[in-house]
Amino acid sequence: MSTMQAVIYEQYGPPEVLKMSQVAKPTPKPNEVLIKIYATTVTVGDWHLRKADPFLARFFTGLFKPKNPILGHELAGVIEAVGANVTKYNIGDAVFASTKLDSGTYAEYMCLPEEGAMALKPNNLSFEEAATIPVGGLTALHLLRQAGIKAGQKVLVYGASGSVGSFAVQLAKYFGTNVTAVCSTTNVELVKSLGADAVIDYKQTEVTQSNEQFDLIFDAVGYLPLAQCKKILKPNGAYASVSWGLILTLNMLGSKIFRGPKVVIGMSKEGTADMVFLKGLAEAGKLKGIIDRRYTLAQLPEAHHYVESGRKKGGVVIQIA
């Protein structure tokens, strides 16, 4: 049996539980492709899973220890082998992909289904740049669509310099809206470069006290609760958030029954079609991934420390091949 290098975690805890190891190299099933991973990232979701934060996550990932010891949820790489029933891809194709609810990109290789959230890599992006797009891009696209984004709307993106937020700004502009972005002082110029029409430095201005009202408020970091948005959200507007929880879930269900703002949470359920859409935007110069820092596979604990600090902007890339 051939092996590969991977970073695994066999218990929940701090970044130091991440250890380099030799594991079995996967073999593609008939509907899968084997990808040699060139680059992956550390997402906010990765460190939450590493810590089992919140605790209820253990009921899905393993009560006492992780069911899947390899983290990582997005990648860019080259197809090395294809299953017997694969027709859309060939050996040697460069691709980028999201693993969605699965994980496993902290490794030299991974198998993914042909019909999964995968597409050919944008030809104008490096592997590292492409690897920053799938999770944040799919999440932002899904929430904006579910919120009913329309041209001419006024959109507020809170947490605009992060992975999801940076894509939310760019996609909202693509859909023809007027975007006000909220970020910290150090990221104002970055967010302006993404196309935001106005930028609010939350360290200088309390956005919830603004006299302006928005058609759509997108909380890309989970720090702007719906309850604080009543003054700045139009009565028939929409509120989208990357957060989960009982209160937000009840708000979402209630918004389907009663009058008032529409509430949207959740993850993208789409796959190939949305990845192809993001690929097209990237190749047209309308979507770009932001690389904050680069680390090697062996430096994953250090990368996790940085992402968990909450200071990252865009994506934190892990170089593998």
Cα separation, 191 vs 180, in Å, equals: 10
pLDDT band at 246 (very low <50, low <70, confident <90, very high): low
What are φ and ψ of residue 229, in 5° steps? -105, 0
Task: Read off the pLDDT band of 257 (50, 70, 90).
Answer: low
The model's pLDDT over 191-206, given as tens digits with 9 standing for 90+, comes to 999 999 999 999 999 9
Give 183 or 310, the one with higher predicted confidence.
183
Q: Is 70 exceeded by the pLDDT of residue 64?
A: yes
Q: Is the pLDDT of residue 187 over 70?
A: yes
pTM of the model: 0.93
Is a pLDDT exceeding 80 seen at residue 245? no
What is d(CA 9, CA 42) in angstroms, rounded to the nearest whole number?
Answer: 14
The identity of residue 297, as a single letter, is L
**Could you tell me the pLDDT band of residue 248, with boundaries at 50, 70 and 90?**
low
Q: 272 φ, ψ to 5°?
A: -55, -45
What pLDDT does 125 receive? 97
**pLDDT classification of 154: cutoffs 50, 70, 90:** very high
- Of 223 and 39, the one with more pLDDT: 39
Mode of pairing for the β-strands spanning 3-8 and 154-158: unpaired
Q: What is the mean pLDDT of the chain?
A: 94
Portion of the chain with pLDDT greater than 90, in percent: 83
Range 84-89 average pLDDT: 98
- Between CA 143 and CA 187 the distance in angstroms is 23
> If you average pLDDT over residues 22-27, what whole number do you get?
98
- Which domains does the chain carry? 3-132+289-319 (3.90.180.10), 136-264 (3.40.50.720)
Distance CA 321, CA 39 (A): 7
CB-based contact 83:31 (threshold 8 Å): yes
172: pLDDT strictly greater than 90: yes
Residue type, 160: A
Lowest mean pLDDT among 62-71, 146-155, 242-251, 284-293: 242-251
> Over 80: is that where the pLDDT of 6 sits?
yes
pLDDT at 254: 67
pLDDT in tens, 207-231: 998 999 999 999 999 889 998 998 9
Residue 62 is predicted with a pLDDT of 87
Statement: residue 251 has pLDDT above 70 = no
pLDDT of 253 > 80? The answer is no
Confidence of residue 145 (pLDDT cuts 50, 70, 90): very high
At 99-137, the pLDDT tens digits run 988 999 999 999 999 999 999 999 999 999 999 999 999
Give the residue-averaged pLDDT of 14-36.
Answer: 98
